[in-house]
Structure 1
Amino acid sequence: MLQISPAPFHSILVIQTKFIGDLVLASALAKNLRLEFPGASIVFLCEARFESFVMAHGIASEVVAFRRDRMRGTPLERGKELYAMVRALRRFRFDLTIDLSDSKTSRIVTGLVNAKTRVGYNPSERPLRMLERQPANVFAKPYGFDGQHFLYRYLSPLEALGIELRTVIPNLQPLPLETAKALALLGQHHLRPNAFIAVHAGASFEGRRWQPERFAAVIVEIAGETGLDVVLVGGPDEREIAERIVARTAPSVVSLVGDLSLESLLAVLKQARLFLGNESGPMHMAAATGTPVVGLFGLTEPSRWGPVGVPSISLQPPMPCACMAEDLCRAPDPSKACCVWGLEVKPVVDAVREVLSRTEMKLERAI
């Protein structure tokens, strides 16, 4: 194994090609790197749609972005995108590469960039296939600092490099301009800060989305009981889910689904009294702003992927679950299993009440 020099690194590449929730968790790694090497340039390799968010919130000094659709295209399209990606990266002359993605493509990129110090995982998340190689010369444990949450997987390279862990919990706060825009938008809908629940009923895979009808049932009960308004959030491809919820709920439910950039979404989540939603990127974004969370999980283990650093309850149906959709489930892959559909309405209502009660007590103490 390479012996780490005590001299600071000057140009650092972090490869995080996954999703927005992963980037939120990886922001804690970036913060520690910045504290350890304040003069270093920290570059993130990430998907193009996340570039402005990563830059706006200071997660990276610079971003090299790629298009996921091209990386999933024809061999020629993939080759062109990979060539452009590596060419853009090599101009930085990195002396440290940290591969958080731990994928076949990220290992290829690590090898081609060829920084002197290259951190990867041992063992890899998935076994290397024939002809694959691990270009790393410094190896991080699957979970560093004796942690169990996936956050500690993204912090593990620090331990491998002998860097002190100075901060753990991701902390992302909206920009002042985005806060002003969020307050103005909420005002247009007669919504007050800290007086609404943000609900995200979407997720990247259908099986990870709790049924819209059940979200609606929770909203009706909690809104009627507490007087809190409800704001639906999500991406443009989740509008149909929002429409199904709005059709079953009171007029006080406002849908901002498809109307917010990631930067604006963060600002809206910061103003919420509570976040209720499926295991997804917005859940981690809400937690990173300090907003309490009720998270709904299926086969994914909440102890690995639950919200961190805020009052929260993560709900999961009893395991092993009775299969809810045999034609759709692809267990044991947690991203392709419909176990969350087994959650009933009552435990979710009870969890929302419990977290609201905890935060109410904190508010009273503060006053």
Structure 2
Amino acid sequence: MNLSATAASRGLEPERILVVRTRFVGDTVLAIPFLRNLRRRHPRAQIDVLVEQAPGAVLADCPYKDELLVLPDAAVRGVPIPAALSTLFANARWLRNRHYSRAYILKRSLSAILLVRLAGIPHRVGFASQGGGLLLSRAARIGGHRHEVEVFLDLLRVDGIPVDDGRNENWVAPDVATKVDRRLGGLPPDRTRVFIAPRSTAREKEWPVERMARVVSWLVNERNCEVVFCGAPRDMAMHQEIATRAGTRAARHAHDMTSEFNLRETGGLLARMHLAVGVDTGLLHVAASHCVPVVSLVGPTDPNRWCPWGTFSEVIRAPRLQRPWALRLRQALFPLRGSDLHWPIGTAAMNDIGVEQVEAAIDRLLAGRQAVLPSRQAAA
């Protein structure tokens, strides 16, 4: 039964729904298919999304949510237990005063489940992990190595809500489009624009800088490309090193726009790219949400779960995989059908990825891209 529609027909206030998806840019943007399906089921509901301040910007222009919420008392890791509990109860009281009747917890976290339970939200849907399943009204089990988008959609399925094909999408606000187009207007219009994302939150996910520089040099000198960087301020030193190593001519066609755009605006910038290339980082998921082709370099990451979603993409991973004994034992006890996996399970070393592999993947995507400029992919 659609409770929102029922409430509206009786002249009651629309149902208030909370979605919890804190931390990480990539995880947050991958929640868009979930939000679309939730909105389709509850068209009149107030749907608020609890995020962290910085990553939440990737949902700023999402039409399926009403408000982006940030907890008034941010949790800090490593603090004494009494202080952590005090923060938890204070945040729960704040949420309780917002009178939600339904919550979906997209974060695999016992603390997130406890927060929602202490907030008095009667209908709670989350993952049966971290020991919090008994605190939920309905719990979804995380099985196999399914993509994170499908895992999020499982929360709707277990709650009896039908889902669509899970297609990806994103939006660019008119003010952001104007700012981005003005900046890109200074680049040669006849050159392909390639976004480079070389930095990750985990060092083991990064590719050697000198190899990324060789790719940038090849893009500029052999493929007539303009290269664009845009990340966090801490990334700028790496951007500069890559451009310098790429050579003088390549450096003239490499543009670091980090200081010019915030995260929301970086989404608009990505929407104007012809291609995005990088390591496993949230910005590649943002690019994919704008249907920009992506070349993703992965090592310790499971591409079955974290490959670019809903766009043309190439995942580059070294063929030599490491399989810890615990993983081998789990696979022996609970074997997966071959059709369940696109990539074999295991971890690979980023150092084993060759420059030629990346260049060949770029060529395949550039050869197949549509002639329509990326500016026509973004919604005004």
- Normalized against structure 2, the TM-score is what? 0.82
| 1:238 alignment partner in structure 2 | 235
Does the CA contact (< 8 Å) of 1:203 and 1:278 recur in 2? Answer: yes
Residues 1:301 and 1:133: Cα distance change in structure 2 (over 3 Å): closer
- Decide which moves more: 281-290 or 73-82: 73-82
The question of 1:105 aligning with 2:111 is answered: yes
**SS of structure 2 residue aligned to 1:294:** strand
Aligned pairs for 1:76-87 (under 5 A) are 78-87=84-93
| 2:334 alignment partner in structure 1 | none
2:238 is matched by which residue type in structure 1? I
**SS of structure 2 residue aligned to 1:248:** helix
| 1:227 CA displacement | 0.6
Aligned pairs for 1:11-50 (under 5 A) are 11-50=16-55
1:88 is matched by which residue type in structure 2? W
| Whole-Å separation in 2 of the counterparts to 1:156 and 1:194 | 42
Residues 1:255 and 1:105: Cα distance change in structure 2 (over 3 Å): same
| Whole-Å separation in 1 of the counterparts to 2:348 and 2:86 | 36
| Whole-Å separation in 2 of the counterparts to 1:295 and 1:10 | 40
Residues 1:316 and 1:65: Cα distance change in structure 2 (over 3 Å): same
Residues 1:59 and 1:240: Cα distance change in structure 2 (over 3 Å): farther
Does the CA contact (< 8 Å) of 1:71 and 1:82 recur in 2? Answer: no
| 1:213 CA displacement | 1.2
- Runs of 4 or more, structure 1, over 4 Å off, are 67-70, 360-363
| 1:166 CA displacement | 2.5
Identity of aligned residues (%): 25
- Within the candidate set 151, 154, 170, 1:153 is matched to 151
| 1:192 CA displacement | 3.5
| Whole-Å separation in 1 of the counterparts to 2:107 and 2:136 | 13
- Decide which moves more: 102-111 or 272-281: 102-111
Structure 2: runs of 5+ lacking an equivalent: 5-13, 325-346
The question of 1:115 aligning with 2:121 is answered: yes
| 2:220 alignment partner in structure 1 | 223
Does the CA contact (< 8 Å) of 2:60 and 2:264 recur in 1? Answer: no
CA RMSD of the aligned region, Å?
A: 2.7
**SS of structure 1 residue aligned to 2:29:** helix
What whole-Å deviation, never above 9, does each CA across 1:114-139 have from its counterpart, x for those lacking one? 322111223x1xx53xxx66410212
2:146 is matched by which residue type in structure 1? Q
Aligned pairs for 1:336-355 (under 5 A) are 339-355=349-365
Aligned pairs for 1:1-367 (under 5 A) are 6-8=2-4, 10-66=15-71, 70-72=75-77, 74-75=79-80, 78-122=84-128, 124=129, 127-128=130-131, 134-142=134-142, 148-188=146-186, 190-192=187-189, 195-249=192-246, 250=250, 251-321=252-322, 339-359=349-369
| 1:353 CA displacement | 0.6
Residue correspondences, number? 338
Structure 1: runs of 5+ lacking an equivalent: 324-336
What whole-Å deviation, never above 9, does each CA across 1:138-157 have from its counterpart, x for those lacking one? 122326xx992111011111
Does the CA contact (< 8 Å) of 1:150 and 1:305 recur in 2? Answer: yes
| Whole-Å separation in 2 of the counterparts to 1:6 and 1:109 | 25
Does the CA contact (< 8 Å) of 1:45 and 1:65 recur in 2? Answer: yes
Does the CA contact (< 8 Å) of 1:193 and 1:272 recur in 2? Answer: no
**SS of structure 1 residue aligned to 2:185:** helix
| Whole-Å separation in 2 of the counterparts to 1:194 and 1:35 | 40
Does the CA contact (< 8 Å) of 2:322 and 2:348 recur in 1? Answer: no
| 1:53 CA displacement | 3.7
| 1:32 CA displacement | 0.7
| Whole-Å separation in 2 of the counterparts to 1:140 and 1:212 | 41
| Whole-Å separation in 2 of the counterparts to 1:224 and 1:210 | 21
| Whole-Å separation in 2 of the counterparts to 1:267 and 1:56 | 11
What whole-Å deviation, never above 9, does each CA across 1:191-236 have from its counterpart, x for those lacking one? 4498210001111111111112111101111222221111112111
2:54 is matched by which residue type in structure 1? R
**SS of structure 1 residue aligned to 2:103:** strand
